[in-house]
Amino acid sequence: MTEGRLLGDRYRLSQPIGRGRGGFIWIAQDQRVHRTVAAKPVALPTGGAPTDTELEVAVQLARDAARLKHQCAVTVYDVLVESDGIWLITEYVPSRTMADFLAGHGKLAAQDTVTLGAQLAAALAAAAELGIAHRAVEPANVLLADDGAVQITDFGVGALHHDPAFRAPEVIAGGVATPASDVFSLGATLYFALRGVTPFGPLGTDNGPDLSGDFSGDLWNEHTAAGTPADPETLLPRLLADMLTTSPAQRPAMSGCWEALTAIADGRHPKPHPAPQQPGTGAQSPAAAPAAPQQAAPPAPADPPTQQHLTTPIRVPSAPQPMPAPAPPMAASASPHGPGWHQPMPPSAIHPGNTAQQASPLSQNRAAVRALLAIAVIAAAMIGILFTELLFV
């Protein structure tokens, strides 16, 4: 591979910026639209010349990834089949991986973990709406951009070399990766960020954390939530217990994880979760929890996290120091108009009931002006008459 190579008669390789599982990743110039992009070779199982089946599967996965357009996911622009394999042309994001950051700076605080997790869950839930599974959610595929944004990369194509420490049990057993397995992998990724170790060991087959001890409690019980503060240190581990449940059918949907992480990041309790869990598969089953007294109906669920629901990125410090707690960034994400949007208030809402009082001083001022003008006109007339009489004397 040499500098200046032209891929697909369009993308000119400029300089290598790192090494992925498939080889060197390059900065390239899209000569058609004059845009800086990243060119990344796709790793294939054989390590040599890909078979026709491998090419077909890899190209299809990459094209599926190109359908997703979300602020928290690296955009795939093009898929190329070259003589030396498959290349992805993606958005260029100056960044470092979450894995590199954690290796240098250690664990994240619970507040930072839920803020980061909410952004990743938003992109993964949007992908699930399109029927796309990431297949390899892990710290190495999470980018912490230089401008503070959080993005996930390698949709689909990273599955060939997914770190087993973050694989769902059904995938380790040979099953097909699904959005439910992405939920498990995201849970394992956030657990690693929070605790500094993987939940089920380097191969993903250890007994893992005691879900009945450290993760005890029912996250989704309204009665329980009513009497406890919305503390990320408490709520996040309980959510992770549900996400790390062995049975994929008993895990919350990715959209539910997004809603829960958003609520926790915003200092609120997640709303009750409707999906039941089987005993012994993770945290306490909502069906087995004590019945809560009848209360008013919970608020309507938030909209699914499409590409319009953008969250405020966390800021990653460049020096080894605790990450600052961000301001609650999630409340505006439910608006279809994007973050920071507010419904304009009608004029009457600014000072309700004071319209007449505000008009009275204005009318009084107008009357005073008219009186002064009348006096001025009369005075001018009298002065004119006086001068006339003096001239004839």
Instruction: Tell me: pLDDT of 300 over 60.
Output: no
- How many Å apart are CA 90 and CA 28, to the nearest integer? 10
**If you average pLDDT over residues 249-255, what whole number do you get?**
95
129: Cβ–Cβ under 8 A, 6 or more apart, which residues? 255, 304, 306
Q: Are 59 and 48 in contact (CB under 8 A)?
A: no
**If you average pLDDT over residues 304-326, what whole number do you get?**
40
Q: Residue 185: what pLDDT?
A: 97
Q: Residue 180: what pLDDT?
A: 96
The sign of the torsion formed by the CA atoms of 266, 267, 272, 278 equals positive
Mean pLDDT of the chain, nearest integer: 74
Instruction: Tell me: pLDDT of 140 over 50.
Output: yes
Q: Are 246 and 281 in contact (CB under 8 A)?
A: yes
Look at 129 and 351; give whichever has higher pLDDT.
Answer: 129
**If you average pLDDT over residues 250-262, what whole number do you get?**
95
52: Cβ–Cβ under 8 A, 6 or more apart, which residues? none
Look at 283 and 38; give whichever has higher pLDDT.
Answer: 38
Q: Which residue has the tokens 């008013």?
A: 296
Element (H, E) at 86: strand 85-91
Instruction: Tell me: pLDDT of 346 over 90.
Output: no
- How many Å apart are CA 108 and CA 241, to the nearest integer? 18
Look at 315 and 5; give whichever has higher pLDDT.
Answer: 5
- How many Å apart are CA 21 and CA 255, to the nearest integer? 30
Per-residue pLDDT of 50-87, as tens digits, reads: 677 777 887 888 888 889 999 999 999 998 888 878 88
H-state helical runs in the chain: 52-66, 98-105, 110-129, 169-172, 179-195, 222-226, 232-243, 254-265, 347-350, 355-392
- How many Å apart are CA 303 and CA 92, to the nearest integer? 29
Q: Residue 35: what pLDDT?
A: 96
Q: Residue 118: what pLDDT?
A: 97
Instruction: Tell me: pLDDT of 211 over 60.
Output: no
134: left (phi over 0), alpha (psi -120 to 50) or beta: alpha
Instruction: Tell me: pLDDT of 376 over 80.
Output: no
What's the CATH architecture for 6-91? 2-Layer Sandwich (3.30)
pLDDT winner (highest mean) among 99-103, 316-320, 354-358, 382-386: 99-103
Instruction: Tell me: pLDDT of 5 over 80.
Output: yes
Q: Are 121 and 254 in contact (CB under 8 A)?
A: yes
pTM exceeds 0.75 for this model: no
Residue 93: other Cβ atoms inside 10 A: 16
The helix-helix angle for 98-105 and 179-195 (nearest 10°) equals 20
Look at 338 and 141; give whichever has higher pLDDT.
Answer: 141
Give the 3-state secondary structure of 170-183. HHHCCCCCCHHHHH
In the chain, where the domains are located = 6-91, 95-273+304-315
Element (H, E) at 214: none
What's the CATH architecture for 95-273+304-315? Orthogonal Bundle (1.10)
Indicate the residue type of 249: A
Q: Residue 190: what pLDDT?
A: 97
Per-residue pLDDT of 6-37, as tens digits, reads: 999 999 999 998 887 778 899 999 999 999 99
Instruction: Tell me: pLDDT of 272 over 80.
Output: no
Q: Residue 350: what pLDDT?
A: 26
Q: Which of 144, 230, 128, 234 lies closest to 183, judged by CA? A: 128
The per-residue b/e assignment along 75-86, b for 16 or more CB within 10 angstroms, e otherwise, is: bbbbbbeeeebb
Q: Residue 199: what pLDDT?
A: 93
Look at 227 and 102; give whichever has higher pLDDT.
Answer: 102
Per-residue pLDDT of 77-121, as tens digits, reads: 998 888 878 889 999 999 999 999 999 999 999 999 999 999 999
Instruction: Tell me: pLDDT of 165 over 90.
Output: yes
